[in-house]
């Protein structure tokens, strides 16, 4: 743990209060966000904190709000682009310390920090079907709830029964799935600034070998169609109503379009990739140029699925 720095976010008093409630949480100063995002870009965060528990997270968030210290919640960094200038404030990383998982009959109760791949494996080992689609998504359960992640015809709202949510008032309460407004790449968690702490998922009994085969089939399809050999944030743009973003981009002649070390993947035009030591500015420029050209040619506005954080 490093000592508070008066020139960092929140001033000496606010930072001292954060340290006082941190307990055994991991706290790092000037942490490069390129180490914590799947794009592998991003400048330093003033503070990078991995809370030891939901209770400690709630206390630290209270301090940030009271001291007006900017903060953001980050899972596995699989759907974000952090600017080259970094983030002036606190990035709370919900990770291994908050990733417990257990089974109750045909239900799985898991904390937000568990990876989707680990969650899918746990379901398979317990002969439970319904999470096969999540096995190859490089994110956490918290992030998946935030955006209602999905792939290959499945999505989180198909399996989530309820979620444990931390409200702005610091109250943790279970909210039924039907009240989470889980839609296409959105949720009430996202639109209202709530924080997912855990979820209860209802699955169905299945044969482990059949579950494994479905997961392996999805993995093969991913490898054949997606540029998994390069850092990216997965699908860069949301699917416009009635269209596919990748097809619009390809038809606009933008396959391989590059700025610096970033480019549109020629393997799957829905992906913007870090091909050769790209900066966040390179990636954002490709995204903006692509969106502008697609709209110019087709009149269809592309909306980024990837969240942009920090200073660009």
Active site residues: 185, 235, 305
Largest CA distance in the chain: 57
139: helix, coil or strand? coil
> Shortest CA distance to 8 belongs to which of 38, 44, 47, 57?
47
Q: How far is residue 79 from each of residues 52, 149, 231, 241, 308, measured CA to CA in Å?
A: 23, 10, 12, 21, 9
| Beta-ladder partners of 264 | 272
| Beta-ladder partners of 237 | 304
Q: Are 192 and 157 in contact (CB under 8 A)?
A: no
| Beta-ladder partners of 183 | 186
> Shortest CA distance to 21 belongs to which of 52, 61, 62, 59?
59
> Shortest CA distance to 49 belongs to which of 79, 15, 82, 26?
26
Q: Which secondary structure element, helix H or strand E, spans residue 67, and what is its range?
A: helix 54-67
Q: Are 91 and 49 in contact (CB under 8 A)?
A: yes
| Other CB atoms within 10 Å distance of the CB of residue 154 | 16
Q: How far is residue 145 from each of residues 21, 177, 185, 239, 276, measured CA to CA in Å?
A: 27, 10, 9, 18, 32
Q: How far is residue 242 from each of residues 161, 239, 309, measured CA to CA in Å?
A: 29, 8, 29
């Amino acid at each position: 743990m490093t000592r508070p720095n008066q020139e960092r976010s929140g001033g000496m008093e606010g930072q001292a209060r954060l340290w006082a409630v941190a307990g055994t949480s991991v706290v790092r100063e000037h942490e490069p966000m390129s180490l914590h995002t799947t794009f592998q870009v991003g400048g330093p965060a003033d503070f990078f904190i991995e809370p030891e528990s939901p209770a400690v997270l709630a206390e630290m968030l209270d301090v940030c709000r009271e001291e007006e210290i900017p903060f953001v919640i980050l899972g596995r960094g699989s759907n974000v682009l952090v600017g080259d200038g970094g983030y002036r404030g606190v990035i709370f990383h919900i990770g291994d310390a908050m990733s417990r998982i257990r089974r109750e009959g045909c239900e799985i109760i898991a904390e937000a920090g568990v990876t989707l791949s680990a969650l899918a494996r746990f379901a398979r080992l317990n002969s439970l079907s319904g999470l096969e689609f999540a096995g190859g998504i490089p994110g956490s359960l918290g992030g998946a709830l935030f955006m209602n992640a999905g792939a290959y015809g499945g999505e989180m709202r198909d399996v989530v029964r309820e979620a444990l949510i931390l409200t702005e008032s610091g109250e943790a309460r279970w909210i039924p799935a039907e009240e989470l407004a889980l839609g296409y790449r959105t949720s009430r968690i996202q639109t209202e600034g709530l924080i997912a702490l855990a979820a209860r998922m209802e699955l169905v009994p299945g044969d482990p070998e059949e579950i494994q085969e479905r997961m392996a089939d999805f993995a093969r399809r991913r490898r054949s169609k997606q540029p998994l050999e390069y850092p990216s944030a997965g699908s860069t743009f949301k699917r416009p109503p009635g269209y596919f973003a990748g097809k619009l981009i390809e038809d606009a002649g933008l396959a391989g379009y590059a700025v610096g070390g970033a480019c549109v993947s020629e393997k799957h035009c829905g992906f913007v990739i870090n091909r050769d030591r790209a900066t966040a500015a390179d990636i954002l420029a490709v995204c903006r140029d692509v969106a502008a050209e697609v709209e110019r040619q087709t009149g269809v506005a592309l909306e980024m699925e990837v969240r942009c954080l920090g200073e660009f």
